[in-house]
Every structure is written in structure tokens, then in C-alpha cells.
Chain A
Amino acid sequence: MEYHNLIIKFFAGEISDSELVHLKSWLEKDPENRRIFDAENELWQEAGSQSNIGAYDNDSAWINISGGAGLGADNPKPVVIMGKAKFRILVAAATIFALVTFGSVTLWLTSEKSLRQLSGGITRITTNEGEKSRISLPDSSQILLNAGSTFQYDRKFNLSDRMVKLMGEAYFDISTNPQKPFVVELDKMTVTATGTRFNVFSFSNENRVETTLEEGIIHVSVKGGEPVEVKAGQQVVYFVKSGEVLIRDVNPDTYTSWKENMLRFHDTPFEEVLRRIGRKYNVTFEVSNRELFDLTYTATFIDESIEDVMQMLKTVSPITYRIYYRTSASDKQYRKPKIVVGKRKSNI
């Protein structure tokens, strides 16, 4: 028992030189003594790991690991998986967009529920913000329609070809049929495939139109131009404002993660972050300070509540916010929650 005490003093940094000599010779004497030392050490570490809060920080360690392992991104910048408050903010060159764009998505949303219309042989499926819809087409292709999107096809579908239209975001898993090409018409882009899997992002209020190919080959033409062949793992981006077209290698998972209820941002400008949060959680945003639009974010949220998401944004960037939950307006209609975002005074 005397040696237990000596060992504890050793761990606590209280052992004297003469005691240390004792401890050493005791340890040398018998392997059993070393085993006792080990057991005490384990107990000491165990008690320390439990009581010594903050000695080992999971969050900052995870940032290092996910960065070191190149997780989640198609470039070596660390992408942070959100569990608690942790984030990476990149301040990029300012690109200020008008706030007006937030409202425009509602223009082609008509009812409370997703809606399938049959008029003039046209089938249209619309999802509201905060919801997704799975569509099985007559040719057994599968479409997953993201929030705030509209998908349509007509009765000629699958006769000589397979033409569909999309506004918004959808993931396509197209059944193979080289005789009948599958054509997705977007506002600014046309995607042609015979059988493959790809993701399309084309909102009227976003500056980018993106098509990301997970498997197979597709042909993409921008604004009626020459079709370009795109291979698996590549992405075509069309920047609406500048008219630039970019084909790049990406990790498709980053762009299809919404299927698994993840929200992924990669050097994403603040206003796009808000629009995407708005679509996913069915909330509207009001931003009181334009300086905030200079912020960009790289982060992944997995199944977090809107409250948690906002809290994290606040933790990592100089913002304040207030959530106004569903309020009934004078006409007895319920409005969607509104989040007012402002700039925090102190710097982070």
C-alpha cells in the first residue's frame, strides 16, 4: 500500500528524488509491480479523462483530422462536419447580391403540399420548401426532387425520347436506354443522358447552374450551345451573371449529400447559405447588414434543427439573429418562420 501512495505522488508530480529512487527499484524488482503501476496509471488517466474537462477537445481534434484526412471535400481544405459549434469561415472577395432574390422562389410554388397536376397531358410535381419528393417515371427512372423545386414531363415522355423539365434541384437515377435519350431541360442548360446518375442544381434565384455526374456519361449544352461530354466525377457549372462555363473534377458526394439530409457548404457565399437553409427548413431570412454578404462558409450540417444551425452560424461568424416563429397574419394565414440576421458588434 505504501507503494500505491508513492505511485500517486509520482503521477501528481509530488514525488521527491529519494522517493523516486525507491519507486524505481521497486518497479525493477518484479513484473507484478510494473503491473500495479500500470493499473494505477490507467485509473489516473481514466479519472483524468472524466473529470479534466477540456483536456481533450473532440471538436478541434476533429477539425484537424477531417482536414488531415481530406474528408468531405474535393480539395485539401478542411471541411468541418458539424456536431457542435465548429466551423470554418473564409472571407472572400465581396460579391453583393440584392436581398430581393429571397422571395422570388415562391413565385412558382402554389399550394401547401407537393402537387401533381394533370392538365394538357403535363405532369408537374412541385415540392415546397422544407420537403422532398421521390418520383418514379414510367421508364422506371427514379428522381429525387429537393425542396422548392418543380419537375415536369408530358404525355410524349418515353415515346421517342424522354424529355423532362426542371426548376430547382433534383437527383436523377436514369434507367439505361440508348434508343431513347433522357433530356433534362433547365432554364440555361440542357443535359442529355442514356442511363446514368447525376445531380442538377438550377434555381432561378441562384447565380450558378450545376450538373454533377456521379456515374456514366452525359452531354451538357449551355444555352443551346455545342454539347460537351462530361465524365463521372465531373461537374459543369454555368455562372449566370458572368456567362462563364466551368468543367471541373469534384467529389460528387458533396453535391448529392442533400439526399441524406445534409447541408453542405463549400466556400459558399453567405446569401446562398441562407437561401439553401431557407429552402431546407422552410424559413425566410431578412438580413439587416450587407457587410455580412462578404462571408463564405465551408461546413456540413447533418440533420440539425434550424435552431442549432443558426446557433452554429452565430458561434463562428459575427452575426446575431432572432427567429420569429409562425405567426398568424391578419388574414388568418400562417406565415413561415422568419429569421432576422444582423451583424454582431464584436469581432470573433
Chain B
Amino acid sequence: MKDQLAMRIKLGDEQAFELFFRKYNVRLCAFANKFLANSEEAQEVVQDMFVKLWDNREEIDPENSMKSYVFKIVQNLSINRLRRKKVESRYNEIYKMVYIDNHEFSAHESLLARELEAQIVNSIKKLPPECRKIFDLSRSEGLKYREIADTLHISIKTVEAQMSKALRSLRTELTDYITLIMISIISNTLWF
């Protein structure tokens, strides 16, 4: 099936390009961030990709999914950047170990490439209040476990346990959802 948006971008339609950008920018940044663990660098990678995409718009093949294509490019750019990182922190050592020269992770299968925003938001909302509060403080506000514990007058152990619980719950919710999509795709295929 031809991708109409891809076609319009190929023909130089700036509005179509902006639409595409607005649809995927945040997800692509989050995707780049999983390799780089640095949101500024992640944004740089994604911006470079968009500029190059526009410059080379004539090369776009509307027969193929442009979404998979951009996720793939962002993955390659991010891994290249990760490889070149000079400062060896104990952290990016782990990222390098997991992602460099590892071909088992395909951009296509990324959770971030699946457009589950609404489900994620819902799943976060469904967390028990205490759990959600701790998760938000850590994930959104970037507080340390110690700070969260002090703010809420609880122990660090509790923070740790709640964080673990939050992620576990999100994982379960989303796994169910992903499985459900897969089932519906399979059953559709069987019917027709």
C-alpha cells in the first residue's frame, strides 16, 4: 500500500513533512534515548535525521513504511554515536555492552514504534496512587530515591519496591495489549 504522506513529502510538501515530524518526533527521541541515555544527544540525533530526510526526500520510497525507515535510521545513528563516545562512564559501558554489535534488536519491533501512547498514559493512570506518585517523582521530576523517600516520609526500600511494582505493572498491561493486537491481526488474517 502506498504511503500518502510519504508521497507528499517526496514531492516536497512541507506541511506533510511537519505532520510526520510532529507525529514521530517525541517517540523517536525516546527511542534514541534508550541507546544514549541522554535526552539532549537523543534530540540531536533525531533532528539530524529529520534534516537529512528532508534533504534526501527524493529518495523516499512510498512503497515502504517510512516509519520503520526512520526508526531504523535513528537506531543506526544512535548506535554509531554510542560507539564513538569517548568518556567511559560506568553507565555507558552497560549501554555499549547491550547495544553495540548486537543485531538482535530491530527498530521495527520497538515498543516505541508501535504507537501505544494512549495505552501507556492509561496504564500509568491505573497505577495505585502511592505507586504512581513515586513513579512520577522519579520519572518526571528526576528525583533520587533518597529525595523521594524524604519527601514522602517513607523508606528507600519502599521507594525501590514501588518503582519495581510500577514498571512490572506497566509491563504486564502493555504486554497484554500487544498480545491483543497480535491476536486481532492473526484472526483477521484467518478470516480473510
The answer to whether the Cβ of A71 comes within 8 Å of any Cβ in the partner chain is yes
Could you say which interface size class chain B belongs to? 35 or more
Interface flags for A59-97 (1: CB within 8 Å of B; 0: not) read 001101110110110000000010100000000000000
The answer to whether the Cβ of B79 comes within 8 Å of any Cβ in the partner chain is no
The answer to whether the Cβ of B87 comes within 8 Å of any Cβ in the partner chain is no
Q: Are B47 and A14 neighbours in the complex by a CB distance under 8 Å?
A: no
Q: Looking at the complex, which of B62-70, B112-120, B183-191 is the stretch in contact with chain A?
A: B112-120
* B177 to A: closest C-beta gap in Å: 12
CA A62 to CA B21, docked complex, whole Å: 8
Residue of A24, A61, A65 near B54 (CB, 8 A) is A65
Interface residues of A in 83-124 (CB under 8 A from B): 83
CA A279 to CA B167, docked complex, whole Å: 55
Q: Are B26 and A65 neighbours in the complex by a CB distance under 8 Å?
A: no
The answer to whether the Cβ of B85 comes within 8 Å of any Cβ in the partner chain is no
Interface residues of B in 36-81 (CB under 8 A from A): 39, 42-43, 46-47, 50-51, 54-55
A: number of interface residues (CB 8 Å): 49
Interface residues of B in 12-27 (CB under 8 A from A): 14-15, 17-18, 21-22, 25-27
The answer to whether A71 and B54 touch (CB under 8 A), given A34-B104, A45-B30, A50-B117, is: yes
Q: Looking at the complex, which of A5-13, A147-155, A232-240, A319-327 is the stretch in contact with chain B?
A: A5-13
Interface residues of A in 253-287 (CB under 8 A from B): none
Interface flags for B162-176 (1: CB within 8 Å of A; 0: not) read 011001101100100
Residues on A with beta carbons closer than 8 Å to the beta carbon of B121: 50
The answer to whether A38 and B105 touch (CB under 8 A), given A5-B160, A8-B164, A58-B26, is: yes
Residues on B with beta carbons closer than 8 Å to the beta carbon of A53: 140
- Interface majority SS (helix, strand, loop, mixed), chain B: helix
Q: Are A37 and B98 neighbours in the complex by a CB distance under 8 Å?
A: yes
The answer to whether the Cβ of B94 comes within 8 Å of any Cβ in the partner chain is yes
Q: Are A45 and B31 neighbours in the complex by a CB distance under 8 Å?
A: yes
Q: In this complex, what residue of A is CB-closest to B145? A: A14
Interface flags for A1-26 (1: CB within 8 Å of B; 0: not) read 00011001110111001001001100
Residue of A5, A13, A31 near B144 (CB, 8 A) is A13
Q: Are B164 and A5 neighbours in the complex by a CB distance under 8 Å?
A: yes
Q: In this complex, what residue of B is CB-closest to A21? A: B90
Q: Are A46 and B21 neighbours in the complex by a CB distance under 8 Å?
A: no
Q: Are B112 and A46 neighbours in the complex by a CB distance under 8 Å?
A: yes
Q: In this complex, what residue of A is CB-closest to B113? A: A42
The answer to whether A45 and B34 touch (CB under 8 A), given A9-B160, A31-B104, A56-B29, is: yes
The answer to whether A68 and B90 touch (CB under 8 A), given A12-B163, A14-B144, is: no
What residues of chain B have their CB less than 8 Å away from a CB belonging to chain A?
Answer: 14-15, 17-18, 21-22, 25-27, 29-31, 33-34, 39, 42-43, 46-47, 50-51, 54-55, 90-91, 93-94, 97-99, 102, 104-105, 110-112, 116-117, 120-121, 124, 135-136, 138-140, 144-145, 160, 163-164, 167-168, 170-171, 174
7 residue pairs from A and B, CB less than 8 Å apart: A20-B90, A24-B94, A40-B167, A44-B139, A45-B34, A50-B121, A61-B25
| Closest 10 pairs between A and B when the two form their complex, measured CB to CB | A49-B30, A69-B54, A45-B30, A68-B51, A56-B29, A42-B111, A5-B164, A45-B34, A41-B34, A65-B50
